[in-house]
Amino acid sequence: MWISIPSILVLLCLLMMFFLNHEPPPFKPIASATLHAQQHHHKVVTGYTTTATLIEVVDVLLEKRGGYMSNDILPPWVFLDNVPNWEFGVLTQVRDLARAMRNDLSRSQTQSLEDPDLAVADPLFHYDSERWFPPDTEGRYRKGAEALEAYLTRLSSPNEPGAQFYARADNLVDWLSIVEKRLGSLSQRLSASVGQARLNTDLSGDPEARQSTETPDIVLVKTPWTQIDDNFYEARGTAWALVHFLHAMEFDFEQVLQKKNATVSFRQIIRELESTQEPLRSPMVLNGDQFGLFANHSLVMANYIARANAAIIDLRKLLQEG
């Protein structure tokens, strides 16, 4: 049976797409940080595990099967959108944590100097995630990881008192407030997969509040069908990164969490986010009705994200008031 060359190329492209459409497995942050310290002859100090985990997450983002795909313009990579959206979810959390480390976690007061290595790393991770023309995106992110490595080396050295990581309750609260907003937005976008008529609560709670333009009292919110799987995989990437960061911070902020009696609450957040990483046993992200015949994977994901978000809100209150 004669098969044309174009048919072979199409088949090969499909096989490669199936092979590359892969989410990397999780790793153990504490064990990974310990190994990192042994390989580089570092001392594990406060903040080491969180920083080493951030570096490892960036490494996985760039070196996983198929490499970094968000800026690829050639087939078969250009035909894949699930993994690039997963990458964007991970990248968003990398950016948020790197900025929190620069602005809060490495500084004792608002008037103190920012760490020079973190000041280099932060803007590098905010480089255009889809740029393919030199200077390439991967190169910028690798330089960001190198700057984090330089900070980590100074952090672990007793001769470098200028490099610090302050595991304080207020710093943890500041980072969690950013995570809370990210998860809240994702939850809303995922829930809108079925379309909802929502009351406008933009100005609730403040009779003197104003906004730039008037909006109707009832707003119809519905995610376009072309973005259903995009939001789903972005949420999976976000949760994947957060699970690792939270495990690392549980180690670095152990005393803070114990003092506030918040360790169990912290672990509950991790458990909810870990539930989002269950394998998808469907060839595609289904978008059935709320109580219809077919599943709606976006609503299931939104449930776990919303539960984690609610737990973060409770934890922030506990850390501030407990």
Same domain, residue pair 149 and 181: no
8-62 pLDDT tens trace: 766 776 676 666 778 899 999 999 999 999 999 999 999 999 999 999 999 999 9
Is residue 1, in this structure, part of any structural domain at all?
no
Q: Check if the beta carbon of residue 173 is closer than 8 Å to that of residue 313.
A: no
- Asked, for residue 16, whether it belongs to a domain, the answer is no
Strand partners, 196: 221
**Contact between residue 192 and residue 221 where contact means Cβ atoms under 8 Å apart:** yes
Which pLDDT score is estimated for 293?
66
Residues 130, 172, single domain; the answer is no
Can you give the pLDDT at residue 114?
93
Q: What is the pLDDT of residues 123-160, one digit of tens each?
A: 999 999 988 888 889 999 999 999 999 999 999 999 99
Structural domains counted in the chain? 2
Q: Which of 317, 306, 256 is nearest to 276 (CA)?
A: 306
The count of residues in the chain is 322
Q: Are 163 and 106 in contact (CB under 8 A)?
A: yes
Q: Is residue 9 included in any domain, yes or no?
A: no
Q: pLDDT tens, 78-129?
A: 667 789 999 999 999 999 999 999 999 999 887 788 999 999 999 999 999 9
Residue 1 confidence class, pLDDT cut points 50, 70, 90: very low
Task: Give percent helix, percent strand, percent coil of the chain, each to the nearest 5.
Answer: 60, 5, 35
pLDDT of residue 226: 73
Share of the chain above pLDDT 70, in %: 87
One domain for residues 57 and 108? yes
Q: Round to whole Å and give the CA distance between 32 and 42.
A: 13
Per DSSP, 103 falls in state: I
Rounded to the nearest 10°, the torsion over CA 206, 207, 212, 213 is 120
266, 243: one domain: yes
Instruction: Quick: pLDDT tens for 235-261.
Output: 999 999 999 999 999 999 999 999 999
Specify whether the CB–CB gap between 87 and 184 falls below 8 A.
no
Instruction: Let me know how many helices (H) and strands (E) the chain has, helices first.
Output: 11, 2
pLDDT tens-digit series, residues 25-34:
999 999 999 9
98 and 140 inside one domain:
yes
240 occurs within a structural domain: yes
Neighbours of 312 (CB within 10 A): 24
Would 111 be classed as within a structural domain? yes
Cα–Cα distance, 97 to 301 (Å, whole number)? 23
Whole-number Å distance between alpha carbons of 59 and 51 = 13
Q: Quick check: pTM over 0.85?
A: yes
- Using CA atoms, how far apart are residues 212 and 195, in angstroms rounded to an integer? 25
